[in-house]
Amino acid sequence: MEKKIIKTSDGSSSVYIPEWDENYHSKHGAIQEAYHVFIKSGLDLFEDGSKVNILEMGLGTGLNCIISYLEGKNRELRIEYLGLEGYPLDVKMILELNHLQQLHAENESTVYQKMLNSDWNSKQKITDDFYLTKKQVMFEDFDQRNFADLIYFDAFGARVQPELWTEVIFKKMYEALNENGVIVTYAAKGSVRRAMQAVGLEVERLPGPPGKREMLRGRKPIS
C-alpha cells in the first residue's frame, strides 16, 4: 500500500495513505493532536514520579511513544510502554519525518533511534525509566489483561477501519486496563461512545484537538 510523507498544519510531518485517503495523524497538526489527546487528556492525570503502564493501539510512526518518553523524563515518570501495530512502517520512512526537530528534541536522537530499531515482540530497555515492547499483532488478536494504567487508542478512523471501533475491541481494552485505568481517543462519534459504555467504561466527552469539536475519555471503574 502506497504511503506518502505530508506536512500538517502545525509544521509536523505525518504519513498519508492515498488508497484510503487517510492520514496517520490529524492534518491540523500531528504534534498538537498527540499532546492534546494523549498527554493533556491522558498522561497528565498521573502524578510526577509515578509508575505508568501505557498501551498504545496503533504505534504508527512512534510519535506518541517519543512524546511520552520526553514528558516522562521531565516528570520523573517510570514508564512501561506496549505499542501494538499490525503493519509496521519502514524505519527509513519514519526517520524522514521531522518529529524530533518539531519537538526540539534533537538531543534525544540516540533514544529515538533505539526505540525505532528495537526488536519487535520483546521487552526492551530504552532507558532506566522507560521500557518498550513493540508487538506486531492485529487488534482483534490482542489478549492481555490488567496491564494498562493508560491506553492511547489511536487506530485509523472508523471510516476506513470500522471493525476496530466495536464492542468486541473495546471489551479487549476494558480487560487490558487496570481498575481506575484510563483510555483516551481522538474519536467522538456516538457509536464509539456507546460501544465504550456497553463494555463497562465510564465515558466523558472532552474538548477535541484542533479541527475536532470533541474527543472521548473512558475510565474502568473500581469494582
The CATH number of residue 167's host domain is 3.40.50.150
Task: Report whether 23 contacts 15 (CB < 8 A).
Answer: yes
Domain-embedded: residue 48: yes
The C-alpha cell that represents 102 in the structure block: 518539531
Domain-embedded: residue 161: yes
Report whether pLDDT(131) > 90: yes
CA distance 222 to 165: 24
On the 0-12 / 13-18 / 19+ scale of CB atoms within 10 A, 189 is middle
* Long-range pairs for 157-165: beta carbons < 8 A, 24 or more residues apart: 157/22, 157/187, 158/187, 158/189, 158/191, 158/192, 159/22, 160/20, 160/22, 164/57, 164/139, 165/189, 165/191, 165/192, 165/195
Domain-embedded: residue 108: yes
Domain-embedded: residue 11: no
Domain-embedded: residue 18: no
The pLDDT value recorded for residue 223 is 85
Tell me how far the alpha carbon of residue 159 is from its chain's centroid.
19
Q: CA of 159: how far to CAs of 8, 23, 36, 38, 192, in Å?
A: 20, 12, 22, 21, 12
CA distance 59 to 139: 11
The pLDDT value recorded for residue 221 is 98
Domain-embedded: residue 179: yes
CA distance 72 to 4: 30
- Domain, as residue range, for 56: 29-219
Report whether pLDDT(189) > 90: yes
Average pLDDT, the chain: 97
Q: Which residues of 63-85 are buried (b: 16+ CB within 10 A; e: fewer)?
A: bbbbbbbbbbbeeebebbbbbbb
**What percent of the chain is modeled with pLDDT above 90?**
99
**What percent of the chain is modeled with pLDDT above 70?**
100
The pLDDT value recorded for residue 19 is 92
Report whether pLDDT(195) > 90: yes
Residues 6+ apart with CB under 8 A from 89: 3, 15, 60, 61
Query: pLDDT (tens digit, 9 = 90+) per residue, 36-87?
Result: 999 999 999 999 999 999 999 999 999 999 999 999 999 999 999 999 999 9
SS3 202: strand
The C-alpha cell that represents 182 in the structure block: 484510563
Domain-embedded: residue 47: yes
Q: Which residues of 155-180 are buried (b: 16+ CB within 10 A; e: fewer)?
A: bbbbeeeeebbbeebbbbbbbbbeee
Query: pLDDT (tens digit, 9 = 90+) per residue, 95-122?
Result: 999 999 999 999 999 999 999 999 999 9
The residue length of the chain stands at: 223
In this prediction, residues 129-151 reach a mean pLDDT of: 97
Domain-embedded: residue 78: yes
The pLDDT value recorded for residue 1 is 84
The pLDDT value recorded for residue 80 is 98
Quote the number of domains for the chain.
1
